[in-house]
Each structure stands twice: as C-alpha cells, then as structure tokens.
C-alpha cells in the first residue's frame, strides 16, 4: 500500500504535519504502508492535477483543499483554505470524517495532533517536542526578533535548512527523521550540517541586503530582493533591523515563482489592525490574519512590484485596494 502525502513545501509546519500524519497513519491504521511525499507551493496558475494523487491513500496537510474524490485525508488551518467556492462546497459535503479545517489553530501539526488525540486516542510522547516547535515557529511565538534571527535553537537551524534548501530529496528525508528523531538529532545529520553552513552565511548576507534595500515609512518596511540568490529570507530580519515597524512587504523571486510577502511585527507596540490574509486574497493570494503572500508567475516581477506598492499604501493608510 502506498500513502501519498502532499504538504506545504519548504515550511517547518508543513514538514512537521507530514511527519506527524505519517506516524499517526502508520501506527493506527496501516503499519505496512510505504509513504511518498510531494511538496506543494502556492502558484499563480493551477496547483493541483489528478496525477498528484497516485496513492492508495492520499492526504494533504497544511495546504489548500482539492475537490477530488481521490483525496482521503485533509488537514489545514489557513483562513485561505479553498481555491474556489466550489471547492469549499465539496469539502462541506464530505461525510468521511477524515477532512478537517480550523483556522484557530496556531500550527497544522498541532491541529492534526489534536484530532488524532480526541478522535482516535493517539498521542505519541516522543513527538511532543516537534509539536511544541511547530506551534512556536508557525505563530512566531519568540521572545524577540533577535532570538528569531540568531538561530541558536536546533528548531530554528532546521527552519533555515527547510526554507532555504532547493532539494525535494532532503525535505523528504527531514520528514522521515521528524517522525522519530529529536530536532537536535536531525540537525546533527551530516547532510543537514552540509546544507546549514552555506545557508548560515547567506542568512548573514541577507541581513545586510535587507538593511541596504529597505525603505521604512508609515510603519511599513518595504524592500525588493527580486533577482537575488535568496530562496527564502528570515522574515524577522526586518523587525530586528527596524523594531518600530508594524508591517513588512517584500518582493522576491524564490523557486518557480515571483512572490510578494506580507507580514506583521509580532512585537509591535502599535495594534495590528489589518487582516493580511484578506488583503492577499484580493490579489489571488492568502495566508493567516498576521502573515500572507501573493504568488505570480516566474518573471512577473513588475506585476509583483505594482501589487506590493498597492499593499504598502493600504497598510500605510494611504489607500484601499
């Protein structure tokens, strides 16, 4: 039996969700099953195709819903969980008891664990560290920006590798390791150490790059790093450099897309009054109330810049989209 798990790619919570679900399904239902993983990225064009669902059992975690009868399990905690109203109706008609959505949860891994505990009496003690850090990472529950940028904790070192690696193979190894190793044991793996060193150097360079490119006005940090060799930057760098900022908007060119990232300062002294997921949804993106993103086709940098400027002006209170 093959179980195919589609997960939010290059995301700590996405990987943790895939790892926890795999352990849950293996321990509770399918001890002899083989698992295969597919990382999913938000794109401007179509996300799903039927050939993605090639397992005897197919699951999606920490990612949008797909209205296909081939989907067996689904867990998500994003406000922007559906690509269309038709997809949402398909979900609402489901009677399998295996598809779940709750945007109130800080992490999808934590949400899966709660469903597994309350509905299936499954609560593995050795995965509590993973669940704890999935909650911390996905809700940005750090004591301050310096802690988040310093990357001293094993979990934060692993976040950098997960977000900065271009390899699907290492992502799938990490998911496998997460299901039975401690986070320090994963970081100590030679393959992780080999990736970590150059990513750490790039992380240090990105601090200088963002300091150089950033414009701060009206409580918003805006910077454009399109074309730079940065798959993902640490999203707390702007608040480390500019602690007075309330929001961040950036343009970047990660793998296979052009991206506008929109975030809010977890340590802001002023209230966060904008729902960033709602703003991003108007441009075809989405996310959570305090963090979101909008994806464009590769090369659509000028379109992304125009959108980013509109978002900046809205967050500054200069206009409404």
Domain ranges of the chain: 2-138, 215-315
With cut-offs at 50, 70 and 90, classify the pLDDT of residue 259: very high
Burial per residue of 200-238, b for 16 or more beta-carbon CB atoms within 10 angstroms, e otherwise? eebbeebbebbeeebeeeebbbbbbbbeeebbbbbbbbb
Tokens of 62: 């920490």
**pLDDT (0 to 100) of residue 165:** 86
**pLDDT (0 to 100) of residue 43:** 67
With cut-offs at 50, 70 and 90, classify the pLDDT of residue 125: very high
The number of C-alpha atoms within 13 Å of 22 and in the hemisphere containing its C-beta is 26
Percent of the chain with pLDDT over 90: 88
Q: What is the pLDDT of residues 185-224, one digit of tens each?
A: 999 999 999 999 999 999 999 999 999 999 999 999 999 9
228 or 105, which is more confident? 105
Query: Top-level CATH class of 215-315?
Result: alpha beta
**pLDDT (0 to 100) of residue 96:** 96
pLDDT at 140 over 80: yes
Average confidence (pLDDT) over 173-191: 98
With cut-offs at 50, 70 and 90, classify the pLDDT of residue 231: confident
Query: What's the whole-number average pLDDT of the chain?
Result: 94
pLDDT at 45 over 60: no
Q: What is the pTM of this model?
A: 0.86
pLDDT at 257 over 90: no
């Amino acid at each position: 039996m093959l179980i195919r798990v589609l997960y939010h790619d290059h995301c700590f919570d996405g990987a943790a969700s895939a790892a926890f679900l795999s352990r849950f399904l293996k321990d509770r239902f399918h001890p002899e099953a083989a698992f295969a993983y597919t990382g999913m990225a938000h794109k401007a064009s179509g996300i799903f195709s039927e050939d993605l669902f090639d397992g005897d059992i197919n699951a999606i975690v920490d990612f949008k819903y797909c209205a296909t009868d081939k989907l067996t399990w689904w867990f998500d905690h994003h406000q922007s969980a559906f690509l269309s109203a038709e997809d949402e109706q398909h979900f609402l008609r489901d009677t399998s008891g295996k598809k779940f959505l709750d945007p109130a949860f800080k992490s999808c891994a934590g949400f899966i664990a709660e469903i597994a505990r309350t509905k299936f009496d499954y609560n593995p003690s050795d995965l509590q560290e993973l669940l704890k850090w999935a909650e911390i990472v996905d809700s940005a529950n750090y004591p301050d920006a310096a802690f988040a940028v310093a990357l001293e904790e094993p979990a934060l070192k692993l976040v950098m590798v997960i977000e900065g690696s271009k390899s699907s193979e290492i992502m799938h190894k990490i998911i496998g390791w997460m299901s039975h190793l401690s986070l320090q044991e994963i970081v100590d793996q030679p393959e992780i150490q080999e990736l970590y060193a150059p990513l750490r150097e790039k992380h240090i360079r990105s601090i200088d790059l963002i300091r150089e490119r950033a414009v701060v006005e009206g409580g918003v940090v805006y910077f454009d790093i399109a074309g730079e060799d940065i798959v993902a930057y640490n999203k707390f760098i702007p608040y480390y450099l500019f602690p007075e900022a309330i929001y961040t908007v950036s343009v970047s060119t990660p793998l296979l897309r052009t991206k506008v990232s929109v975030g809010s300062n977890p340590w802001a002294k002023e209230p966060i009054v904008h729902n960033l997921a709602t703003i991003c949804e108007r441009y075809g993106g989405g996310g959570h109330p305090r963090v979101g993103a909008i994806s464009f086709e590769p090369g659509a940098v000028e379109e992304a810049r125009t959108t980013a400027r509109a978002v900046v002006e809205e967050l500054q209170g200069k206009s409404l989209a």
